[in-house]
Amino acid sequence: MTREIDLGILFSRSGTYRLLSEASRTGALKAVEQVNADDSLDVRFNPIERDPAGNIDAYAPLCEEILRDSSARHVIGCTTSWSRKEVIPALERMDGVLWYPTPYEGFEASDRIVYSHACPNQHLLPLLDYAFSQFGRRSYLTGSNYIWGWEMNRLAREIGARNGGEVLGERYLPLGSTEIERIVEEIADLRPDFVLNQLIGPSQYAFLAAIAKLRQLDPFFRAGHCPVLSCNLTECELPTIGPSAEEVISAGPWFRGLHPALPGNGEREDFGSSLEAAAHASVMMLAGLLSSNPGAEYLSLQQLLAQPRAARIGISARTHHVSLPVAIAQVREGAFVPLWTEQPVEGDPYLTREREPAAVSLRVVK
Amino acid sequence: MRRRLRIPNLGGARAAILHRPHETVTALERQLLAIGLEVDCHWPDLPASARAADYLFIDVDTAFDDQFPWEPGEAPIPTIALVGSEAPGRIEWLMNFGADAQILKPVGDSGVYSALLIARATFDARVDLAGEIDSLRRRLGQRQTVVQAVAILAERGKSEDEAYEQLRGMAMAWRVSFEEAASRIVNSGKPLQKSESDHG
């Protein structure tokens, strides 16, 4: 018998990171539509949607509202670490589960959350390996004054130190600030081998525009020299950034044109970005856990992930992180061109596992 | 002073938990496994083998000194206190027993990772500090020896200041501590017949 199951959707439709959250929302709704049209599944999802509109203080009450006013136990949502941490108490109070489909900085393994996009061993570590081997070991670190930038750069510093790297400079901007002159001047002056850019939103857009200008003025920064690296830039921001995104190198689980997409996506690849793909995969994985499994919608996350089918799908019962492929790609003429891919690796949020020697699983893309 | 956190190697590290079977242990164990540690639960006795663990979690609500094969304040591994009752008597016991970090009960969804980092850093600082205090104490105890050594050197017609400087020169030449040089002089009963003691 087909079961109709309420499913929470909690993404902002306005605000500074609207481009990212809209991509996630699109992916989640695509999957809902797909599940509901699939006769091989015995579940139908009924989306219960709330829009925090980019307001950090709206997430917890709206998450609680979903869990209180509907029978939803699972919510797909949140785009920032800050909002994810905000909703945890609501999840605990109301016995809910969050599927978080956005890259983040790791060091968390809540028993209320499934982490379905990449954590540092799936984005930053392979990206640094690549940068050290291709460009050199002298880095410049920049980011927004926010946990993402702080933690990612702290990791980069630590990993760099372990590999004989040298950090020439490290500077932060307040969230939303576009005063990037000082950072760009410093980069022009220090001439690092690469820049690790953990800026977000308008700060990143202003930064990339200024770097593009620098490349025209200073021959040291001509094409191919001192690339700007990112761990969260996807196709969904490219139209807004325009030509100054050219040459940026980004790491993620998937970029448009790579086959296949994420493990949870099945055959499907019609996504605008990995954000959309990961949200789609989250809903599909949930459908896979609940279908032909009557009553599973009432199980705790721990019980649900203890079932063998969770491991088959690639969700770790121990860390609640998902196995994901690794791709490193460069923006060329408005699209990402893959430079490097790796087979799916298990998420290691606390970086306590030895990283497999990259040579075993990687493939240089010609 | 700015402290830089050195992240300990937690993958495959062992945590020992001394707590009766309880939801607290389940929640603690889940977090420890997620981080990548191996976990041994003990109750009611802590076996001697627990000394080989990398971290120890203790239940302040029920703990008493005789449960532990070491003196209060001398835990040989980083220790994390699980605090339920905040009754002053229990807090007093905890202060005497000593812990390197604490977690308030009930243990929920998080808190273990930061407790591990803080416990390791505090424990390492505690061990370093104890070593430094030991060495300072030893040197303090040798004050009398230094006075005697300076007196012996001064007997040869030097002022006290000159004798003191001479002793410092000897310590440097012998590559030993000031106190050790003093002790050599006192033990030999007279300055050693070497050039550095004569051309001063």
Contact between chains at A112 and B109 (C-beta distance less than 8 A): yes
Q: Tell me if residue A205 falls in helix, strand or coil.
A: helix
How close, in Å, is residue B138 to chain A by CA atoms? 38
Q: What is the DSSP letter of B5?
A: P
pLDDT at B96: 95
Q: Output phi, psi for B75, to 5 deg.
A: -55, 130
**Helices and strands, counts by H and E, chain B:** 7, 5
| Residue B166 included in any domain | yes
pLDDT at A248: 97
Of B11, B27, B109, the CB nearest to A352: B11
State whether B66 and B122 are in the same domain. yes
State whether B94 and B178 are in the same domain. no
Integer-rounded Cα radius of gyration of chain A: 20
pLDDT at B200: 38
Structural domains of chain A ordered from first start = 3-117+257-324 (3.40.50.2300), 124-252 (3.40.50.2300)
How close, in Å, is residue A41 to chain B by CA atoms? 31
Of A92, A108, A350, the CB nearest to B108: A92
d(C-alpha A93, C-alpha B84), whole Å:
20
| Residue B9 included in any domain | no
d(C-alpha A204, C-alpha B21), whole Å:
51
Contact between chains at B11 and A109 (C-beta distance less than 8 A): no
pLDDT at A362: 53
Query: Which residues does chain B have with pLDDT short of 50?
Result: 191, 194-200
State whether B68 and B90 are in the same domain. yes
| Residue B1 included in any domain | no
Among the three residues B103, B122, B137, which one is the final residue of a domain in this structure? B137
Residues of chain A with Cβ-Cβ distance to B35 below 8 Å are: 109, 350, 352
Of A111, A348, A350, the CB nearest to B113: A350
Contact between chains at B36 and A353 (C-beta distance less than 8 A): yes
How close, in Å, is residue B38 to chain A by CA atoms? 12
Q: Tell me if residue A322 falls in helix, strand or coil.
A: strand
Q: Could you tell me the CATH number of the domain that includes residue B182?
A: 1.10.10
Number of domains making up chain B? 2
Spatial contact of A121 and A105, defined as CB atoms under 8 Å apart: no
Burial level of B138, CB count in 10 A (0-12/13-18/19+)?
Answer: exposed
State the alpha helices, DSSP H only, in chain A: 18-36, 59-69, 81-94, 124-134, 147-162, 181-190, 202-217, 238-241, 274-290, 301-306, 308-313, 358-361
pLDDT at A63: 98
How close, in Å, is residue A81 to chain B by CA atoms? 15
State whether B84 and B133 are in the same domain. yes
Mutate to test the interface with A, among B110, B112, B116, B120 (most CBs of A within 10 A): B110
State whether B154 and B113 are in the same domain. no
Q: Is the ipTM of this complex over 0.85?
A: no
State whether B148 and B122 are in the same domain. no
Domain of residue B173 covers 142-198
| Residue B26 included in any domain | yes
Contact between chains at B9 and A88 (C-beta distance less than 8 A): no
| Residue B20 included in any domain | yes
Contacts of A185 (CB under 8 A, 6+ apart): none
| Residue B8 included in any domain | no
Among the three residues B137, B152, B186, which one is the final residue of a domain in this structure? B137
State whether B18 and B41 are in the same domain. yes
pLDDT at B6: 78
Relative to beta strand A362-364, strand A335-345 is antiparallel
* Chain A residues with at least one Cβ partner in B under 8 Å: 88, 92, 107-112, 158, 302, 318-320, 348-350, 352-354
What is the chain A residue with the closest CA to B111?
Answer: A108
Contact between chains at B109 and A92 (C-beta distance less than 8 A): yes
| Residue B27 included in any domain | yes
pLDDT at B196: 46
Edge to edge, the sheet with strand A3-10 lists: A43-50, A3-10, A74-77, A97-100, A113-115
β-partners of residue A228 are A195
Q: Tell me the C-alpha to C-alpha distance, in Å, between residue A19 and each of A73, A145, A200, A275, B153.
A: 26, 20, 12, 10, 82
Q: What is the DSSP letter of B177?
A: -
d(C-alpha A202, C-alpha A244), whole Å:
13
Question: Residue A212: how many CB atoms within 10 A of its CB?
Answer: 19
State whether B34 and B76 are in the same domain. yes
State whether B75 and B158 are in the same domain. no
From B86, B34, B41, B31, select the one nearest B60 (Cα to Cα): B86
Among the three residues B110, B137, B164, which one is the final residue of a domain in this structure? B137
Q: Could you tell me the CATH number of the domain that includes residue B67?
A: 3.40.50.2300
State whether B84 and B181 are in the same domain. no
β-partners of residue A144 are A173
d(C-alpha B124, C-alpha A262), whole Å:
43
Tens digits of pLDDT across chain A (366 residues): 899 999 999 999 999 999 999 999 999 999 999 999 999 999 999 999 999 999 999 999 999 999 999 999 999 999 999 999 999 999 999 999 999 999 999 999 999 999 999 999 999 999 999 999 999 999 999 999 999 999 999 999 999 999 899 999 999 999 889 999 999 999 999 999 999 999 999 999 999 999 999 999 999 999 889 999 999 999 999 999 999 999 999 999 999 999 999 999 999 999 999 999 999 999 999 999 999 999 999 999 999 999 999 999 999 999 999 999 999 999 999 999 999 999 999 999 999 987 665 544 455 654
H/E stretch holding B37: none
Spatial contact of A342 and A359, defined as CB atoms under 8 Å apart: no
State whether B80 and B172 are in the same domain. no
Q: How far apart are the first and last CA of chain A?
A: 50
Q: Tell me if residue A185 falls in helix, strand or coil.
A: helix
Q: Token digits for B72?
A: 């209060």
Contact between chains at B34 and A354 (C-beta distance less than 8 A): no
What is the chain A residue with the closest CA to B13?
Answer: A352
Of A111, A302, A350, the CB nearest to B10: A350
Tell me how many residue pairs between chain A and chain B have CB atoms under 8 A apart: 39
pLDDT at B7: 83
Q: Tell me the C-alpha to C-alpha distance, in Å, between residue A101 and each of A197, A319, B61, B91, B127.
A: 21, 15, 40, 43, 43
Secondary structure (DSSP) of A48-96: EEE--TT-GGGHHHHHHHHHHHSS--EEEE-SSHHHHHHHHHHHHHHT-
| Residue B4 included in any domain | no
What is the chain B residue with the closest CA to A317?
Answer: B34
State whether B56 and B23 are in the same domain. yes
